[in-house]
Structure 1
Amino acid sequence: MENQSHSTESNDNIKHEPAVSTPIGSEFHYAGFWMRFWAYLLDLAVVASLNSLLIKPIFHLAGISRGDGFFSPYTIVTVIIFYGYFVLMTKYFGQTLGKMVFGLKVVSLKDSTLTWPVVLFREGVGRYISKTVFLLGYLLVAFLPKKQGAHDYYADTTVIHEGTISR
């Protein structure tokens, strides 16, 4: 019994990275570039799988040509799937499947919950802005103190390690 209490005392002496306090009263650790990168790659695989398993067969069975243009029906539907996946998963779960696997979560720096306008801006407009600036918007995660990409910065959100939330 004495050894057990001694071992918990030694665990308390372990130094951890300092938690960051936010305006909403939480303390957490920001997710860095590489964790977010791997989660995003997994999300891209999920979206590509959805398109391959659902959209391609539907277009094939309906006899609709996939087309080559930016405004082809196939491209429009796959873009809707892409943005819909990120918007709906972030709004309803605060995380996509990729973020779930890596234990990450999107949080608002202003409010206690993610609102529709914030999610729509972050996932729709913000991602478009980040991609059109030649991925520099995503590289900001490596350099900004709150580990925010351009889409996070504009939407007042960030991505954290889910296990470090204390409210």
Structure 2
Amino acid sequence: MTEIENPAAEPAAVTRNYAGFWMRFWAYLVDLLIVAAVNGILLSPLTVFSDAGSAEIGYWTLAGILGSIVFYLYFLLMTKYFRQTLGKMIFGLEVIHEDGGNLRWKDLLFREVVGRFLHRVFGILVLLYLVVAFTPEKQGIHDMIGDTRVVHAK
């Protein structure tokens, strides 16, 4: 007796529509505008009502440090809890784990904090964002480090 195969029992292949460089670029610009607005609202009292915003801590100012914290927290928390930032929501993009599972804190810390920090602190590294345009799954270096992909939301 031969065994009959059931084609319906095979798992369906997951097709993902990866977000390209330009979609991600425009979403990032929207996010930068949002972070700048939030920083303006939160940090303007610090600089208007006192001189604390210009207080220097080494090479940095207090306002610069607080603004950076807001920047990184925005990307980290929005991506963790919503899988997308407001810019990605507007353009219909979301961040997923490479295996389709839940986004883990360690992956997001590397993607959103370490990756963005390196791109911002070392100016020439911002050119590495162009890697997104040339990889098959449209991954940036920060996506590779964080085991993530950016796809068009369904």
Q: Same fold (TM over 0.5)?
A: yes
Separation of aligned partners in 1, 2:34 and 2:53 = 23
Unaligned runs of 5+ in 2: 1-12
Amino acid in structure 2 at the alignment position of 1:93 = F
Instruction: Compute the TM-score of the two structures, normalised by the length of structure 2.
Output: 0.82
Deviation for aligned residue 1:54: 1.7
Match of 2:46 in 1: 58
**Residue 81 of structure 1 pairs with residue 81 of structure 2:** no
CA distance in 2, matches of 1:28, 1:44: 27
- CA drift at 1:63: 4.1
Unaligned residue ranges in structure 1 (runs of 5+): 1-24
Measured after TM superposition, the shift of residue 90 of structure 1 is 0.4
Alignment correspondent of 1:135: 126
The 8 Å contact of residues 107 and 146 in structure 2, kept in 1 or not, is answered as: yes
Secondary structure of the 1:27 match is coil
Q: Does 1:156 pair with 2:147?
A: yes
TM-score normalised by structure 1 residue count: 0.76
TM alignment of 1:11-26, pairs within 5 A: 26=14
Preserved contact between residue 54 and residue 62 of structure 2 (Cα < 8 Å): yes
Pairing partner for 2:92 from 103, 109, 130: 103
Q: Which moved more, 1:136-145 or 1:50-59?
A: 50-59
CA displacement at 1:149 relative to structure 2 = 0.7
Cα displacement string for residues 18-49 of structure 1 (whole angstroms, at most 9, x for unaligned residues): xxxxxxx7432000000000000000000000
The amino acid of 2:143's aligned partner reads D
Letter in 1 for 2:148: T
Aligned residue number for residue 49 of structure 1: 37
Alignment check: 8 A CA contact 2:111 2:142 kept:
yes
Separation in 2, partners of 1:97, 1:105: 10
CA RMSD of aligned residues (A): 1.8
How many pairs does the alignment contain? 139
